[in-house]
Amino acid sequence: MIAAAVRIDVLSIFPSYFDGLTLSLLGKAQDAGILDLNVRDLRDWTYDRHRTVDDTPYGGGAGMVMKPEPWGVALDELATASERPTIIFPSPAGEVFTQATARDLATREHLIFGCGRYEGIDERVFEYADTVGEVRLISLGDYVLNGGEVATMAMIEAIGRLIPGVVGNPESLVEESHEDGLLEYPSYTKPSMWRDRAVPDVLLSGNHAAIATWRREQQLERTARRRPDLLSEQDD
């Protein structure tokens, strides 16, 4: 058995959310030993009859807070698998996840995702985690989800496909939205006429230089129209 290139551990009180990650490319990557994905139930590190993971907030307020103890024991155990893991807590209060974040995280040998629920995790967990690894609080975007699970799945998919060997043809990674800071050009396939809509002539011309120019123009035009913020970022 070849050593796995990247190990990803997930801590969640809803591990079955992640069943979908056995499908498709990431499933194949796990079968091939390129990706070692371990989804663990945080309640496995509780030691009371009710397997309690939350409690009322000090200082009062609505909702419940995740207790620190299960996180501490779980992180101690998982962190031993590598020298210094990157420990990611999805949070709407974190830095925003981008393709650049995915590229950075895809180079790490060991990632641990800690999925919070309820009103969040006791703050001391983040401080403690920083003593056993490098902590990152990462947001999927400026909106609130019910917990970190869906954000973690999105991040694992974005990171996983950048791990060498996961996507069969690495060229297909290069020409995608966000890889060069622009949105992707439009794609067409057969038939060349469908419901009175024709495929642009240039794509049928066989003129590769003209096709490349047209695609670049389309990328710029779409980005200017849909995401002008991306063009101004390029000037920065």
Residues 6 or more apart whose CB falls under 8 angstroms from that of 236 comprise none
Residue 3 C-beta: closest distance to ligand ADE, Å = 31
Local structure of 164: helix, strand or coil: coil
Which amino acid type is present at position 43? R
Residue 214 C-beta: closest distance to ligand ADE, Å = 37
Binding to ligand ADE in span 70-109, by CB under 6 A? 90-92
Local structure of 47: helix, strand or coil: coil
Cβ distance to ligand ADE smaller for residue 29 or 120: 120
Cβ distance to ligand ADE smaller for residue 85 or 114: 114
Tell me whether residue 228 is exposed, middle or buried, using C-beta atoms within 10 angstroms of its C-beta: 0 to 12, 13 to 18, 19 or more: exposed
Task: Report the 3 state secondary structure along 191-236.
Answer: CCEECCEECCHHHHCCCHHHHHHHHHHHHHHHHHHHCHHHHHHHHC
Half-sphere exposure of 219 (CA within 13 A, CB side): 19
Cβ distance to ligand ADE smaller for residue 29 or 121: 121
Residue 188 C-beta: closest distance to ligand ADE, Å = 34
Residue 21 C-beta: closest distance to ligand ADE, Å = 17
Residue 164 C-beta: closest distance to ligand ADE, Å = 26
First to last CA, the chain: 46
What are residue 175's phi and psi, to 5 degrees? -95, 25
Size of the site for ligand ADE (CB under 6 A): 12
Question: Is 223 among the residues that bind ligand ADE (CB under 6 A)?
Answer: no
CA 25 and chain centroid, separation? 14
Binding to ligand ADE in span 125-164, by CB under 6 A? 139-141, 143-145, 147-148, 151
Instruction: Report which of 84, 78, 102 is spatially closest to residue 11, judged by C-alpha positions.
Output: 78
Residue 90 C-beta: closest distance to ligand ADE, Å = 3
Footprint on this chain of ligand ADE (rule: CB under 6 A):
90-92, 139-141, 143-145, 147-148, 151
